[in-house]
Amino acid sequence: MSSSSTTPQATVHGYPRQGPNRELKKAIEGYWAGRVSAEVLRVTAADLRRDNWHRLAEAGVTEVPTGDFSLYDHVLDATVAVGAIPPRHRAAVAADPLDGYFAMARGTQDVAPLEMTKWFDTNYHYLVPELGPDTVFAANSTKAVAELREALALGHRGRPVLLGPVSYLLLAKPAPGVAADFQPITLLDRLLPVYAELLADLRAAGAEWVQLDEPALVQDRTPAELNAAARAYRELGAVTDRPKLLIASYFDRLGKALPVLAKAPIEGLALDFTGPAAANLDDLAAVGGLPGKRLVAGVVDGRNIWINDLEKSLSTLAVLLGLADRVDVAPSCSLLHVPLDADRERDLDPQVARWLAFARQKAAEAALLARGLGEGASAITAELAANRADLASRAASALTYDPAVRARTAATTAADARRAQAYPERAEAQRTRLGLPLLPTTTIGSFPQTPELRTARADLRAGRIDAAAYRERMEAEVREVIAYQEKAGLDVLVHGEPERNDMVQYFAEQLTGYLATRHGWVQSYGTRYVRPPVLAGDISRPEPMTTDWYRYAQGLTDRPVKGMLTGPVTMLAWSFVRDDQPLAETARQVALALRDEVTDLEAAGAAVIQVDEPALRETLPLRAADRAAYLAWATEAFRLATSAVRADTQIHTHMCYAEFGAIMTAIDDLDADVISLEAARSHMQVAGELAEAGYPREVGPGVWDIHSPRVPSTEEAAGLLRAGLAAIPAERLWVNPDCGLKTRGWSETRASLGHLVAAAREVRAELTG
């Protein structure tokens, strides 16, 4: 195949939505609170889109994405675009589309929201479509057309982005009341005409290309699902009045789906060539390339924040030039998963800052690579030299290598990662020490992070108060939280974590090898943004991190207070992790640092220590063949952190907002004494899965969905608890919310926890007569 005669261009799949100062978050939350009008919210969103497109064009991106911008979630946007509104939300959407949209995302006091789960193996959460045999689809192109027209009016070449029909159906679940074995993919023939109508509307609005994202095709797919993909693009490709179609995949190699899409009557394919998806290069050559098609080559890592190895990427691109008629350059996926601009991180050492590339820098890297591909490496000689120097600086830095840490990890043995006693012996010792009632009640860890707490933290950073004054404010909050829990009747208490800015960042700031950013915000879901730390070097714990707060809280009550830590896998998954050594090695380093903290908490008197691993499931490799190795080191790291304690010290862990069925064996391998999991939105589905898997330890399936402002009634919580009891014996069942309460307000927290405790007492009375 001859090389492309078309000059390579730079593009991106999507871009961060929040704005440089999280303007979108503030506007949306202001709208929810009644402080901001719908018109002001609309204008704020339009201004952010305009600025994003301008920045991309300024960086050298010649084709900008449209429609990727969302007020809450792009999968929810797809649900609106295809008219798949759940029946319980139709009246609200008809009365006010904006309020109805947010009701689907967050629920109301009377109507439950859509279920939320992790977007593939990222820390982004999407709202799961609810479909059934009676679902009727209807095209609604209003948002997609309006945002395309905005870009065109500003002089940009816009490419609308939609979630593809196959991935939309594969990401959906049976609606409430629909048989659990219903497969949404069976609705494909009903959905395709709706997509054809959306494409026609976009073509009429001026779209030359439309990007249809099909990330679900990088997972293991059955022959029937691959046939569905072939049929979908055979039919959409045959639509006459449509734009050119660019089918985008990312996060892993396409595998068996690659020849399906390569043969489809579409005009372009976007492939990821980073990490495990680098296998796409050989696979593409094996299928004969993409003759007559456009290839958008994702050679810039869209999920991590390290600078690109430009020479390596140019080498990959040079090979790809012989495999397609047109090769353009892009990040590997939407830049939604990285912060906005590394140039704002002025607190970092300038040399270290040169190792980092956020969304703006990644767009510029794609543009630079397109130029180098089109004009030759000699056109970017100076940039390549600077890139080589920065890569060498990182490799040689003392930050990245600590001989003492390496020696300790090398000396660990299999015995270090196993409790000395089997679970039955531990359980008896823990029951004797703790003396808890049947169906013990607790919370997951955090209590509301009020504006006053955030103000105190900001005042400390700005120097308006000193450390002693800050400590006094935090202690006052701990006293209030402990007193409230005692009055509410909770059995195992927490100190509420008022001093913690984030469950990962708080620890990262106290461990060597981590770097903190000031403006590195990334969307987790809706208006919830996190600031992942940068794991840049070898990890150790210079001094205790939480024992002082534990002692203070435990000194206020006779009831047990949990020591609260974040587990090693989550410390990796919710950080931007180093890419210069195996993840397993980094996980062991973090686990050993946490092991020291666990033993210090036990020595301080903690009878219950919780080590949260909400990211264990989300980090699961997308391909089944890669999972065993990951789960082996991930569960080993957890056990390494938690196995040095006595038999009567109870180890808890927590997981939330993921599909747990695929990791039941791994959950058992953690060997935690108690696990709490999200279960309210899924109506206790996980309790049945644990029972079916024969899980032998104690379980706390959540009875309060804390990601919704709804206050569940006592009857609702009791109903969920009874459903849990149908799967888990009462002697092994705990009662708790789905997750921490950081994002909730005090009024709903008091009401909801009051109902939770009342439900536990009601069901306990039923059991004990």
The residues assigned a catalytic role are 707
Beta strands 608-612 and 130-131 are unpaired
Instruction: Give bridge partners of residue 246 from the DSSP assignment.
Output: 211, 268
Going 193 to 197 to 200 to 206, the CA torsion angle's sign is negative
Instruction: Give Cα 735 to chain centroid, integer Å.
Output: 26
| Spatial CA neighbour of 553 closest among 477, 489, 637 | 477
Distance CA 618, CA 117 (A): 9
Distance CA 700, CA 562 (A): 15
Q: In what order do the strands lie in the sheet containing 268-272?
A: 64-66, 158-163, 209-213, 244-248, 268-272, 290-300, 324-331
Q: How many CB atoms lie within 10 A of CB 51?
A: 13
Instruction: Give bridge partners of residue 326 from the DSSP assignment.
Output: 294
Distance CA 372, CA 522 (A): 30
- Could you tell me if 439 and 734 are in contact, meaning their C-beta atoms sit under 8 angstroms apart? yes
Beta strands 116-118 and 125-127 are antiparallel
> What H or E segment, with its residue span, contains residue 329?
strand 324-331
Instruction: Give bridge partners of residue 65 from the DSSP assignment.
Output: 159
Instruction: Give bridge partners of residue 209 from the DSSP assignment.
Output: 244
Query: For the chain, what's the residue count?
Result: 769
- Enumerate residues 6+ apart whose C-beta is below 8 A from 222: none
Instruction: Give Cα 7 to chain centroid, integer Å.
Output: 36
- Enumerate residues 6+ apart whose C-beta is below 8 A from 34: none
| DSSP letter, residue 103 | H
| DSSP letter, residue 510 | T
Tokens of 702: 């959540």
Burial, 422: exposed, middle or buried (Cβ in 10 Å; 0-12, 13-18, 19+)? exposed
| Spatial CA neighbour of 571 closest among 478, 641, 520, 645 | 641
- Enumerate residues 6+ apart whose C-beta is below 8 A from 371: 8, 60, 379, 380
Q: How many CB atoms lie within 10 A of CB 404?
A: 9
Q: In what order do the strands lie in the sheet containing 608-612?
A: 563-566, 608-612, 650-655, 674-677, 698-701
At residue 546, the 3 state secondary structure works out as coil
